[in-house]
């Protein structure tokens, strides 16, 4: 039976092709305007990647600690990277020594080949991990990978040369492997030490599900990863990282200015609306607690991988006060997880509309600094989280009812099958 809703697999596939064509056109026009991205007076692609490459160059040709020196890394970026000398833009290295260890080999290649290799490697992990969530729920001819590759979140990530496909890919892999490969799932979680603020919810969900083997594996991996990073990069990089984190908190979060319009967080929304720092942090903290509790509730009430990863990924974006548009790759993971469940049990018109809006959210976030419209991103994330919780609780009640009355099981199965045939 064909899906007659206008948001279905066919229209999503066609829309993805159009979006991908638009992204290729944007890159082509950018290359033409900047003479093949050689005109550093205009910010082109790989601006953030030039920070990764610059930190690698400094670490290999001097001391890793100097990567945390804004003046020193800007000299390297101005000489080899994507910004000319005298640019008002500052691109500091804000990452822990764990990620410094990861990027260490990058400058063994020139900037552009290194950028392409990094994007292909992290993009491959991300696309495979995200489409794995759908498993055999989507036919191969529907090209589910295209909706991932053509997502605005991926476009922003590739344009800037960021690492969000790596972090989101690790998170999706960890949840997918949790039951069958618990040790490897823990290793994937431990590797998120490259951006520890994105791993804060994993201890909560592992504790809720009593996944002791995965928790132990994650802890051992994170400790070993950190120890090797410190041994290679030096102990001094640890306090230097905390100093850089404080700089980011002050200059990019609390007094971000234009940066608030590209950050889908409640703290940014509050600050952009003129709310004071203390109250803004109180709002952000309250939302973080609610998101954590909601995620724990979802993981307690369902073993469905799709709903679990959807809750985890969405809540991770809600709890952090510093989230940029490129990190909405995590939201695409959440969408894939939600669709995994929706294919089995159907999707309403409201759900379909919100999923499409969430997929498009990075377009608003990335362009909003030009328009300074109210920061609505976190409200979309809350709507997404509410939808996940509602679906989880609804199906938990249905499961309990069918277990209590076995006669209803066959009817529920038939209903699920009918919905699966009509879903996007």
Structure tokens, 260: 């608030």
Residues in the chain where the model's pLDDT stays below 50: 1, 408-424
Q: Is 161 exposed, middle or buried (0-12, 13-18, 19+ CB in 10 A)?
A: buried
At residue 135, the pLDDT reads 72
320 vs 281: CA distance, rounded Å: 11
DSSP readout, 127-190? HHHHHHTTGGGS-GGG-HHHHHHTSHHHHHHHHHT-SHHHHHHHHHHHHHHTTT-HHHHHHHHH
- The answer to whether 233 touches 100, Cβ cutoff 8 Å, is yes
At residue 414, the pLDDT reads 40
Determine phi and psi for 78, rounding to 5 degrees.
Answer: -65, -35
81 vs 372: CA distance, rounded Å: 29
What are the distances in angstroms from CA 241 to CA 73, 97, 348? Answer: 14, 7, 46
- The answer to whether 388 touches 310, Cβ cutoff 8 Å, is yes
251 vs 247: CA distance, rounded Å: 6
DSSP readout, 227-243? HHHHHHH-TTHHHHHHH
DSSP readout, 111-135? HHHHHHHHHHHHHHHHHHHHHHTTG
At residue 142, the pLDDT reads 64
How many contiguous H segments (helices) and E segments (strands) does the chain have? 19, 0
Q: Is 273 exposed, middle or buried (0-12, 13-18, 19+ CB in 10 A)?
A: exposed
Task: Calculate the CA 10 to chain-centre distance.
Answer: 26
Q: CA quadruple 210, 216, 218, 219: dihedral positive or negative? A: positive
List helix spans (H) across 258-348.
266-272, 277-301, 305-319, 329-345
- The answer to whether 270 touches 286, Cβ cutoff 8 Å, is no
392 vs 386: CA distance, rounded Å: 10
Of residues 49, 50, 89, 91, the one with CA closest to residue 70: 91
411 vs 355: CA distance, rounded Å: 28
At residue 141, the pLDDT reads 54
Determine phi and psi for 372, rounding to 5 degrees.
Answer: 55, 45
Of residues 174, 204, 177, the one with CA closest to residue 190: 174
Task: Calculate the CA 34 to chain-centre distance.
Answer: 29
Q: How many CB atoms lie within 10 A of CB 230?
A: 17
Task: Give domain limits for the chain.
Answer: 9-422
- The answer to whether 131 touches 144, Cβ cutoff 8 Å, is yes
Residues for the chain: how many in total? 424
């Amino acid at each position: 039976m064909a899906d007659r809703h206008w948001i279905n697999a066919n229209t999503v596939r066609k829309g993805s092709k159009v979006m991908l064509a638009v992204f290729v056109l944007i890159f082509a026009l950018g290359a033409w305007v900047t003479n093949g991205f050689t005109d550093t007076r205009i910010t082109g692609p790989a601006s953030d990647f030039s920070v990764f490459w610059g930190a690698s160059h400094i670490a290999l040709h001097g001391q890793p600690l100097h990567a945390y020196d804004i003046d020193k890394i800007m000299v390297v970026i101005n000489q080899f990277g994507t910004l000319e000398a005298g640019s008002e833009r500052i691109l500091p290295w804000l990452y822990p020594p764990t990620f410094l260890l990861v990027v260490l080999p990058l400058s063994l290649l020139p900037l552009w080949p290194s950028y392409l290799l990094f994007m292909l490697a992290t993009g491959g992990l991300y696309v495979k991990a995200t489409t794995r969530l759908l498993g055999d729920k989507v036919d191969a001819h529907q090209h589910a990978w295209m909706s991932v590759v053509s997502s605005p979140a991926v476009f922003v990530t590739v344009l800037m040369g960021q690492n969000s496909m790596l972090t989101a890919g690790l998170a999706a892999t960890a949840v997918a492997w949790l039951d069958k490969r618990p040790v490897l799932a823990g290793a994937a979680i431990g590797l998120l030490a490259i951006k520890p603020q994105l791993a804060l919810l994993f201890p909560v969900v592992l504790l809720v599900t009593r996944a002791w083997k995965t928790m132990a594996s994650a802890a051992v991996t994170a400790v070993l990863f950190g120890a090797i990073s410190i041994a290679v990069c030096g102990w001094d990089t640890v306090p230097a990282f905390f100093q850089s984190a404080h700089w980011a908190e002050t200059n990019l979060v609390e007094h971000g200015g234009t940066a608030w319009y590209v950050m889908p967080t409640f703290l940014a929304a509050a600050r952009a609306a003129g709310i004071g720092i203390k109250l803004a942090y109180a709002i952000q903290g309250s939302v973080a607690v609610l998101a954590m509790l909601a995620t724990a509730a979802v993981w307690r009430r369902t073993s469905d991988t799709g709903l679990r990863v959807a809750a985890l990924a969405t809540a991770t974006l809600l709890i952090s006060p510093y989230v940029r548009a490129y990190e909405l790759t995590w939201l695409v993971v959440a969408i894939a997880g939600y669709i995994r469940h929706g294919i089995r049990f159907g999707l309403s018109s409201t759900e379909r509309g919100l999923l499409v809006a969430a997929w498009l959210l990075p377009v608003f976030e990335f362009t909003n600094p030009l328009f300074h419209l109210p920061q609505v991103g976190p409200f979309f994330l809350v709507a997404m989280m509410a939808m996940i919780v509602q679906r989880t609780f609804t199906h938990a009640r249905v499961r309990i009812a069918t277990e209590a009355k076995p006669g209803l099981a066959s009817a529920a199965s038939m209903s699920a099958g009918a919905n699966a045939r009509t879903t996007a």
